Structure 1
Amino acid sequence: MHILILGGTGFIGSAVMRRLAGDGHAVTGLARTVAQARARWPQGRWIAADLAELQTAESWQPHLDGFEIVVNCAGALQDGLADDLAASQQNAMVALYEAAKTSGIRRIVQISARVDGGGADLPFLATKRRADTALAESGLSFVILRPALVVGRNAFGGTALLRALAAFPFVQPLIHAESPVETVDVEDVAAAVALAVEGAIPAGSDLELAAPERLTLAATLALHRRWLGLAPAPTVVVPAILGRAVTALADLAGRLGWQSPLRSTAMTVMEGGVTRRNDGEPAPFAMRTLAETLAAQPAGVQDLWFARLYLLKAPVIVTLSLFWLLSGLVPLADVERAASHLLPLLPPAAATAATLLSCLLDVTLGICVLLRPLARRALLGMLAVTALYLAAASVVEPALWLDPLGPLVKVLPSILLTLTSLAILDNR
């Protein structure tokens, strides 16, 4: 069958694409950016489109031509610079259902979540609930799957955070350490989608997917820590006031386009636990436990590197931002003195103008690196500008390389920090 997978580049979506392609289906992934996906999986087909811009049935029609099944694996945790939950998780889905009625779509498989637990009124779950209700009332053939906490070989969002906390040195810092957690292997989610696509799961089914065990969040982290090959560590409960400060900063980062799993939505959901409803429909087959999932794919050194670097990304980006902001703002306290370094090359007026221009450039780069859509270009700009500054300083005042305070030598670590940021910038 010809299948369109929304969110095909995501953690769940990519697993679903691999499974359905392996089953012999012709799969096409739809996502906002697909350049890396095309490079990684050139045999697949891809459509670049933003769900937030597909708000009418007419806008969906060109993307649905030739498809028989739509699998919705797309989703976002919280509104931010790059995400509009009402537009992408609710309005776009309602428009899709309208378009599907006249496009030959035989079934829609929706990856949703438990929408009546902790944080049910938050936009994340409220928009999913409205989309699920609209699908159930649309008259279309559908299956809704509600996975618990999804784990797998790769990591994104909550899974990435679990690994990062598990790799924390000496202790395991936790908020809501005793919250109940149920997990499901991402490959089991893909297998359930395959059954829904093939019709083995009846139309109208609304299934929760989770392994037959319930752990505490602390126990879940302990299993991940053992998987990473680290010695057990005591759990340290993070004070509530510190937890609120962390989520406030994560929410701010979200507004700037950074999709942190520490945002308030995730913390609210986790406070109530990630579990199935007691009266929910059972899963179509026995799901693998977390221990079985981890044991099936032993961790390598790259997993440990990822886990240890994950929580360092934000401090590294902020440090670079402050470095460039201060380098642009400090000279403004005494522009004449700062401009004097350029007098061997430029007349006074031009030296002052060049100094002010460099200050503006530094401040601009320091701000832009905080905006996720601009971060990569800002980091590349930092490398280019640093090379220009070092070259100019070497011509104007080469003695600065031997200065006891090392004003030029100290720039070299900032270059390595910038390169490190580029290396760990991608989330998936």
Structure 2
Amino acid sequence: MKVLVLGGYGLIGEAVLERLVDDGHDLLGLGRDVRAARRRWPGVQWIAADMSRLLAATDWIPLLAGMDVVVNAAGALQDGPRDQLDAIHRGAVTALVTACEQAGAPGLVQISAIGADLASESAFFRTKAEGDAVIMVSSLDWTILRPGLVIAPAAYGGTALLRALAAVPGFIPVVFADRPIQTVSVADVAEAVSRAVAGRLERGQVIDLVEEKPRPLSAVLLAFRAWLGLPERPVVAMPAIFGRAAGLVADGLGLLGWRSPLRGAALAALERGVTGDATAWTSSAGRPPRPLEATLAAMPAHVQERWFARLWLLKPLVLGVLSVFWLASGLVGFVRWDAAADILVSHGLSPALARAAVLAGSAADTLVGAAVLLRPLAARALKAMMAITFFYLVAATVFAADLWLDPLGPLVKAVPALCLALLALATLDER
């Protein structure tokens, strides 16, 4: 069959895509940035499009030509510069349903979320439920799947945070440690989608995809630590105010384009617990979704998982340190431009050229120090930091080589800053 997969390179979407490829379907993938997806999945046809802008049935009609089934694995956690929940979860879905009915594409598999509720105070759960409601009253052959906490070999968002917290040395800090959690393997989500696409699930069902028994969040973290092969450490329950403070910071960073799993919407979902009813899936599949222990056993951790877990929480620290370092360097240059210019004059530059060089360098330092905090500009800012540092080192070597022997080591200390920017750039990818 011909299947259109929305969000085909996300945590769930890529696992679904892989399963449907194995099933022999002809796939069309859709997402905002599909360049990397094209390289990873060259046998899939890809279309770059932003769902939040596909708000009319006519926007979808050309994409549905010849399609038998649409799988919607797209979604966002919280409103931000790149995400509009109402547009993605309700507006685009409404337009898609209308287009499917008009184009004669009868099948729609919607990957929703445990906790989707029209009365929810959370915009995420409310808009998910609004999209589900539109599907449920349509004439399509629909299936709505609501996964619990999805565990996958890939690490993104909340699953990355779990790995990072589990790898903290000394003790495992956690808010809402006693909240009940039901996980689901991404392989079971892909299996459910495969069955729905092939018509091996009864149509018109809303199915929770969760392991049978809930466990406290603290137990989930201990299971992840054991999976990483790290020595057992105690879980320390942190006051909820710590989580809410982190949420406020993460929400602020969200305005700069960073998609932290610590944002308020995620913490609110965690506070209420992640639970569902496995009965419908167990009845349809003849078995419950696999428990967390089996999920982790099926994806053994190696050194790369331990590296990722340890580096993940260091990433914002590295970026923050770089920003402060470069901003401070730029501001000091502006405040003490005369003293800095005197150093250059003492090495043979004219006073006018020395002043211009100091002011230009201070402006560049300040600019990249601020730009690295903006997610869309972070990669370019890090590359600029490395280029500027390299230029400083070369210029100083040519015009003031004695600074390499300065007791305070201004040039020697630039080398670790260069390496830190390189590390930040290497770990910048989010998925």
Contact 1:16 1:193 in 2 (8 A): yes
* Letter in structure 1 aligned against 2:128: K
Other-structure match for 1:28: 28
Tell me how far 1:334 sits from its aligned partner.
2.2
For 2:225 and 2:354, the matched residues in 1 are separated by 56
For 2:201 and 2:135, the matched residues in 1 are separated by 17
- Equivalent residues in 2 for 1:305-320, closer than 5 Å: 305-320=307-322
- Equivalent residues in 2 for 1:16-415, closer than 5 Å: 16-116=16-116, 120-276=120-276, 281-283=280-282, 284-285=284-285, 286-343=288-345, 344=347, 346-415=349-418
Change (3 A) 1:55 1:393: same
Other-structure match for 2:429: 426
Tell me which of the two structures has the higher relative contact order, counting C-alpha pairs closer than 8 angstroms and 6 or more residues apart. Answer: 1
Tell me how far 1:379 sits from its aligned partner.
0.9
Of all paired residues, the percent bearing the same amino acid is: 48
For 1:22 and 1:423, the matched residues in 2 are separated by 32
For 2:131 and 2:349, the matched residues in 1 are separated by 63
Tell me how far 1:125 sits from its aligned partner.
1.0
Secondary structure of the residue aligned to 1:43 is coil
* Letter in structure 2 aligned against 1:406: G
Give the root-mean-square deviation of aligned CA atoms: 1.7
Tell me how far 1:139 sits from its aligned partner.
2.2
Q: Deviations over 1:226-276 (max 9, x none)?
A: 111112111111123322221111111111111111111111111111001
Contact 2:175 2:242 in 1 (8 A): no
Stretches of structure 2 that go unaligned for 5 or more consecutive residues are none
Secondary structure of the residue aligned to 1:102 is helix
For 2:70 and 2:366, the matched residues in 1 are separated by 46
Contact 1:3 1:26 in 2 (8 A): yes
* Letter in structure 2 aligned against 1:397: A
Other-structure match for 1:9: 9
Contact 2:117 2:125 in 1 (8 A): no
When structure 1 is superposed on structure 2, of 3-12 and 327-336 the one drifting more is 327-336
For 1:204 and 1:346, the matched residues in 2 are separated by 78
Q: Deviations over 1:353-391 (max 9, x none)?
A: 332222221111111111111111111111111111111
Change (3 A) 1:124 1:298: same
For 1:348 and 1:55, the matched residues in 2 are separated by 60
Tell me how far 1:116 sits from its aligned partner.
4.8
Change (3 A) 1:58 1:340: farther
Secondary structure of the residue aligned to 1:101 is helix
Change (3 A) 1:383 1:354: same
Q: How many residues align structurally?
A: 427
For 1:126 and 1:362, the matched residues in 2 are separated by 44
When structure 1 is superposed on structure 2, of 5-14 and 284-293 the one drifting more is 284-293
Contact 2:183 2:292 in 1 (8 A): yes
Contact 1:118 1:273 in 2 (8 A): no
Contact 1:52 1:88 in 2 (8 A): yes
For 1:159 and 1:126, the matched residues in 2 are separated by 22
For 1:311 and 1:95, the matched residues in 2 are separated by 39
For 1:101 and 1:116, the matched residues in 2 are separated by 24
For 1:295 and 1:179, the matched residues in 2 are separated by 24
* Letter in structure 2 aligned against 1:79: D
Contact 1:7 1:31 in 2 (8 A): yes
